[in-house]
């Protein structure tokens, strides 16, 4: 059976099995979504938005949709993937199931808990009704697929005037208890007026089996709120990720998403910002460092609808071996969005002849009093810089790594959590296969 | 220390060095002068091992060892230092981190452990003071946004840190005002000893007022056409290069 048919035919069973007492809104959302998915199906390369990324290699697998046998996972199995040297809230999911033993939730000043309980409890009905599936793009059939099976993920609800003192780590592990597994985490983040939260999200396969994760995150950023969101994508070569993140921002809010892609077989990031008010700032930063046959596709959208807002986008990529990078950065400045400042930059280095980058800046500007710029460079390592470093005794391998480090540095510099910055530096050094005597 | 025998080098088949012979002994300062395009910078690059240039004939020996097959970093480990005419900007790597990496890689190549952080810091401070370099300067990205003078001063700072046997200074005086030139020259003079040697490459005699050479060579069209003492520099300053053609 094809994956699409399998999913559609599993839907009823999934709905009936849901013994949690869901209210009818969620059922209606799911039902609508499965219809949309059934109509649209999986995107193909004929679809303009999927021109450079084919899902075919992923769709032929016989995924287990509801892995039942949860392998027992202890702290020592997952320790390496957590940032341990800081106080944090942690939401750990193992094969799609929340692991309360490894997690640290809270309901004190804010809610950092799981979506399944939020969906089931009357206390959160208002939040769910107001926000769930409100900004997920209905033209994104994979997001619709996720919505059809919406059940579990992070639920982060920050009331107004709250600075969340500790970062929140959301980590989705797969254990390989089944040969091929499809996971569909769903995160809902609502940040009230004047509040601030930092979130780190990671997906990690602990086995050599195949995992496909189709993740959706909706983030609502209210007036003057600040959200810093970090995505660590450093999974095994048997793991693929389709991540769709939708962000709605109210006036004077600042939302930043930093995406670090160092691993995984196929990674597709759909990152969309929607402005609903004036004086909004959106920051989108990313580094991809890929080798072998890894493939990362960053599709971003910033939809400027109101005046006096700004967006800053910086994506860098280093591609070795036969890896493939895609950057498609769309910026829409609608007629009402006068005095918009929108900047976009995509810089890539191709290390080997077999590596590919497809870079596509896309600016649609309908307002006349705006500042918009985009820049795209694709290059190789600077030979004269290499010689300069070698002439000071730095061997060519380390010299290359240092140059690549330096190339990615302005994105690393944007990380506001020192321990995370140090982790990312280490991941980069590991990816470049060098030991440098310092951290940038 | 350095012995160059009948050195021929070309870039993409275009011959630039056409049979250079030069011997530099420990404790000596040599200056190479010559008009634009005579091959001065090429000679410096070839000694340092730049791969763009193909050596078709001849050898470069350091302490009796032929350098031909060694990569630039290996030459550096053996004691060759090239101060660049146009130092490269490396955004994102601070002066301190760069020099630390260079020193520790050199030590690693010699089978030594890393220099303890405290000693490194002390050495950095000492050498920075020698070249009148502001401490703040050390945490800036290497050469990025540096003025011409700052770049050159930074080159000599690196040389002071690496303590090479043979320092080749390629047009170190260009882009320097007279005060900066004095600081740089003073640094070089203080680092000079009986155990090391300096090869100055310059257009003008000006630098040689401050770093006094034992020998001056005139490079013209890929060959050394005349050698002499420091007085040769004054003669060139007065007469230009035409009389040598």
Per-residue model confidence as pLDDT tens digits over B163-175: 999 999 999 988 8
pLDDT score of A18: 63
- Give A385 to chain B, closest Cα distance, Å: 6
The pLDDT value given to residue B168:
97
Whether chain A has a CB inside 8 Å of the CB on B115: the answer is: no
Please report the ipTM that was assigned to this predicted complex. 0.95
Q: Average the pLDDT over B175-194 and give the result.
A: 90
Q: Is A92 left (phi over 0), alpha (psi -120 to 50) or beta?
A: beta
Q: Collapse the DSSP code of B156 into the 3-class scheme (helix H, G, I; strand E, B; otherwise coil) and give the result.
A: helix
Q: In degrees rounded to 5, what are phi and psi of residue B109?
A: -65, -30
Q: What's the whole-number mean pLDDT along residues A3-27?
A: 82
pLDDT band with cut points at 50, 70 and 90 for residue B128: very high
The reported pLDDT for the residue numbered B203 is 84
Q: Tell me the CATH number at B29.
A: 3.40.50.300
Over the stretch A60-108, which tens digit does the pLDDT of each residue have? 999 999 877 666 788 998 999 999 889 999 999 999 999 999 999 999 9
CB–CB contact B71 A396 (8 Å): yes
pLDDT band at B54 (very low <50, low <70, confident <90, very high): very high
Mutation for testing the B interface, residue in A393, A395, A412 having most B CBs under 10 Å: A393
Number of domains present in the structure of chain B: 1
- Please, which pLDDT band fits residue A1 given cuts at 50, 70 and 90? confident
Mean pLDDT of chain A: 93
Quote the mean pLDDT of chain B. 93
Q: B241 or B16: whose pLDDT is higher?
A: B16
Q: Choosing among B78, B96, B105, which should be mutated to test the A contact, i.e. which has the most A CBs within 10 A?
A: B105
User: What's the rounded mean pLDDT across residues A382-409?
Assistant: 92
Inform me whether the C-beta atom of residue A315 falls under 8 Å from chain B C-beta atoms.
no
Of A92 and A438, the structure prediction assigns the larger pLDDT to A92
User: What residues 37-96 of chain A have any CB closer than 8 A to a CB of chain B?
Assistant: none
Give me the pLDDT at residue A115, please: 95
Range of the domain at B62: 2-244
Q: Which pair of tokens denotes residue B138?
A: 């050390």
Q: Which two tokens stand for residue A399?
A: 């010299």
Q: What is the rounded average pLDDT of the residues A374-391?
A: 93
Average pLDDT over residues A174-192: 95
Would you place residue A19 in the very low, low, confident or very high pLDDT band (cuts 50, 70, 90)? low
User: Which strand ranges, in their side-by-side order, compose the sheet holding B2-11?
Assistant: B14-24, B2-11, B54-62, B65-66
Closest CA to A261 of A175, A212, A326: A326
* A31 in B contact zone (CB under 8 Å): no
Beta strand extents in B75-220 (DSSP E only): 80-83, 90-94, 141-142, 166-170, 197-202, 215-220
Section A222-244 average pLDDT: 97
A436 contacts on B by Cβ (under 8 Å) = 101
For helices A396-412 and B95-109, the axis angle rounded to 10 degrees is 150
Residue B140 · residue B170 · CB < 8 Å: no
- pLDDT-derived band at A440 (thresholds 50, 70, 90) equals very low
Q: Do A388 and B87 touch (CB under 8 A)?
A: yes
Q: Is the pTM of this model over 0.80?
A: yes
Mean of pLDDT values over A22-48: 91
pLDDT above 70: percentage of residues in chain A: 96
Is pLDDT above 60 for B137? yes
Enumerate residues 387 to 406 of chain A having a beta carbon within 8 A of any beta carbon in chain B.
Answer: 387-396, 398-399, 402-403, 405-406
Only one residue has tokens 């690549």, namely: A404
* Predicted pLDDT of residue B234: 87
């Amino acid at each position: 059976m094809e994956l699409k048919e399998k999913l559609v035919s599993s839907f009823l069973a999934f709905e009936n099995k849901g013994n949690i007492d869901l209210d009818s809104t969620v059922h209606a959302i799911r039902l609508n979504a499965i219809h949309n998915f059934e109509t649209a199906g999986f995107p193909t390369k004929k679809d303009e938005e999927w021109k450079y990324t084919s899902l075919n290699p992923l769709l032929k697998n016989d995924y287990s949709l509801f892995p039942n046998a949860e392998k027992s996972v202890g702290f020592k199995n997952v320790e390496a993937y957590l940032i341990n040297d800081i106080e944090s809230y942690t939401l750990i999911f193992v094969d799609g199931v929340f692991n309360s033993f490894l997690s640290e939730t809270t309901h004190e000043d804010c809610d950092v808990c799981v979506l399944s309980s939020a969906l089931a409890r009357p206390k959160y009905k208002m939040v769910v009704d107001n926000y769930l599936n409100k900004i997920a793009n209905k033209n994104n059939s994979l997001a619709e697929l996720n919505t059809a099976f919406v059940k579990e993920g992070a639920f982060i609800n920050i009331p107004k005037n709250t600075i969340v003192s500790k970062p929140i780590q959301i980590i989705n592990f797969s254990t390989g208890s089944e040969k091929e597994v499809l996971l569909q985490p769903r995160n809902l983040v609502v940040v009230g007026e004047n509040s601030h939260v930092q979130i780190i999200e990671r997906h990690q396969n602990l086995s050599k089996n195949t995992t496909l994760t189709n993740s959706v995150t909706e983030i609502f950023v209210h007036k003057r709120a600040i959200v810093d969101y970090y995505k660590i994508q450093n999974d095994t070569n048997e793991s693929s990720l389709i991540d769709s993140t939708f962000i709605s921002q109210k006036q004077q809010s600042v939302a930043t998403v930093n995406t670090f892609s160092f691993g995984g077989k196929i990674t597709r990031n759909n990152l969309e910002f929607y402005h609903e008010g004036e004086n909004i700032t959106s920051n989108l930063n990313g580094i991809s460092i890929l080798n072998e046959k890894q493939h990362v596709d960053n599709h971003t959208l910033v939809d400027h609808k109101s005046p006096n807002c700004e967006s800053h986008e910086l994506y860098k990529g280093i591609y070795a071996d036969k890896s493939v990078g895609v950057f498609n950065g769309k910026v829409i400045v609608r007629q009402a969005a006068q005095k918009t400042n929108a900047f976009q930059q995509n810089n890539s280095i191709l290390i080997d002849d077999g590596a590919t980058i497809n870079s596509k800046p896309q600016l649609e500007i309908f307002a006349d009093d705006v500042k918009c710029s985009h820049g795209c460079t694709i290059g190789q390592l600077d030979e004269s810089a290499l010689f300069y470093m070698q002439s000071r005794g730095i061997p060519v391998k380390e010299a290359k790594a240092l140059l690549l480090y330096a190339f990615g540095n302005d994105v690393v510099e944007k990380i506001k959590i020192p321990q995370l910055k140090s982790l990312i530096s280490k991941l980069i050094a590991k990816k470049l296969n060098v030991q440098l005597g310092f951290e940038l | 220390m350095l012995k160059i025998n009948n050195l021929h080098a070309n870039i993409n088949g275009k011959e630039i060095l056409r049979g250079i012979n030069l011997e530099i002994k420990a404790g000596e300062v040599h200056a190479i002068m010559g008009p634009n395009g005579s091959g001065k910078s090429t000679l410096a690059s070839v000694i340092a091992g730049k791969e763009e240039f193909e050596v078709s004939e001849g050898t470069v020996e350091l302490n009796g060892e032929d350098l031909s097959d060694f990569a630039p970093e290996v030459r550096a480990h053996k004691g060759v230092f090239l101060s660049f005419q146009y130092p490269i900007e490396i955004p994102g790597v601070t002066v301190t981190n760069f020099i630390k990496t260079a020193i520790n890689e050199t030590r690693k190549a010699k089978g030594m452990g890393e220099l303890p952080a405290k000693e490194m810091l002390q050495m950095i401070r000492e050498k920075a003071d020698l070249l009148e370099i502001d401490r703040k300067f050390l945490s800036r990205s290497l050469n990025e946004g540096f003025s011409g003078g700052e770049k050159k001063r930074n080159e000599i700072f690196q040389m002071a840190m690496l303590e090479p046997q043979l320092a080749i200074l390629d047009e170190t005086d260009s882009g320097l005002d007279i005060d900066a030139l004095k600081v740089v020259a003073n640094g070089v003079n203080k680092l000079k000893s009986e155990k090391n040697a300096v090869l100055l490459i310059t257009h003008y005699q000006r630098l040689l007022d401050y770093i006094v050479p034992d020998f001056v060579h005139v490079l013209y069209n890929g060959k050394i056409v005349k050698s002499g003492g420091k007085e040769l520099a004054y003669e060139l300053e007065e007469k230009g290069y035409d009389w040598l053609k």
